[in-house]
Structure 1
Amino acid sequence: MEILALQSQIRPHFMYNTINVIKWMAKIQGASGIEEALSAFSAVIRFTAKTESELVTIRDEVEFIKNYTKILDFRYFNKFEVSYKIDPNVMEYMTLKFLLQPLVENAVFHAFDDIDYKGKIYIRIYKESEGLIMEVSDNGRGLSKNEHLEAEAGDKLNSIGINNIKKRIQLNFGEKFGLWMTSQDTGGTIAKIVIPIIR
């Protein structure tokens, strides 16, 4: 067990150091795009490798999403853009790690399929009396009635990620909290996470 624990610590550290070497080479050769992509990837690995706690600050979760979407933007050549509206007073509140990533992934991989305009993702985080609200909405094609039912059931889309979010929230915080997905009248989808306020 001790050896496995040590190996799990070495692997991310080794990857991080290797990426830094490639980033340094890219900088010397003037390949700024590669350098920027590797910086974002390094930050994603660093965040993923944090194992001390399942809880992170909203600030850390948002920083992770910014780096993650930067990598996707390089991959999909400016297919979408992301806007953030986050109450500054919630930045030091705690959340479960990786709650937003599967929702952003769904927007990029599914909502923006077969659209002839630029995709937009809106991430909003704020406090209400019921708890901390995290919303990921998009201007994509929206969910059909069948897709909406499948999303609720955890089928298709990123079913592992969607189910993971729902189960982790309910296991940690109870049935009162969770994830709800709805289609907007104007097109696109809103995914709404509600968790308790944890200072």
Structure 2
Amino acid sequence: REAFQEMLKNHMEQALNADKEGAISLGARLKGFYQPIVYEKSAMVLHMLRQVCGDEQFFTIVKRFYHDAYNRAVGTDDFRKVVEEVTQENMAWFFDQWIYDVGYPKYRLSYSSMKKPDGRFLVQGTLTQIQDGRIFSMPVPIRLELNNGEQIDKVIWNDSRTRTFEVIVTDDVRSIETAPDYAVYCETES
């Protein structure tokens, strides 16, 4: 697990540094940025697709695409068709922002915590996209660490500049991490 997290961290850093040079869909036309975009960013995009679809659907997608692509030339649209067949969803929103375009979200998370009469805590938070330009749509995981050591993972669907959320927890919050385990190709700010 630690080695996998380190690998994701390295992919993320290299891809973010080269992101503005071109979209994954440009492939070999990226010249000197082929490695960080086509390999590093693509790895992050596949990791995000796994988060969006879940393990069962993701591995079905991989197996079906391998089977369909065996011994023939395929492209991104072929992969997208398999993703949409397996998920039974229109995934244009995902491919358009992560494969066919450049950029990434920069998230800022703020929160407050208030003890309720029953002893539990109400956590109210705001997840804001602070990057210039367009807004990215993505389910964004957050990890709450409580003072008692408990960790709680939640997912916030974020498709606007600002998204608010509420969570009731058993103890006060020590910290909240945005996109833990490199679940989203992004930058974060506390």
Which TM-score band applies after superposition, normalised by the shorter structure?
A: under 0.3
**TM-score, structure 1 normalization:** 0.27
Higher strand share: 2
Q: Name which structure has the greater RCO, CA cutoff 8 Å, separation 6+.
A: 2
**TM-score, structure 2 normalization:** 0.28
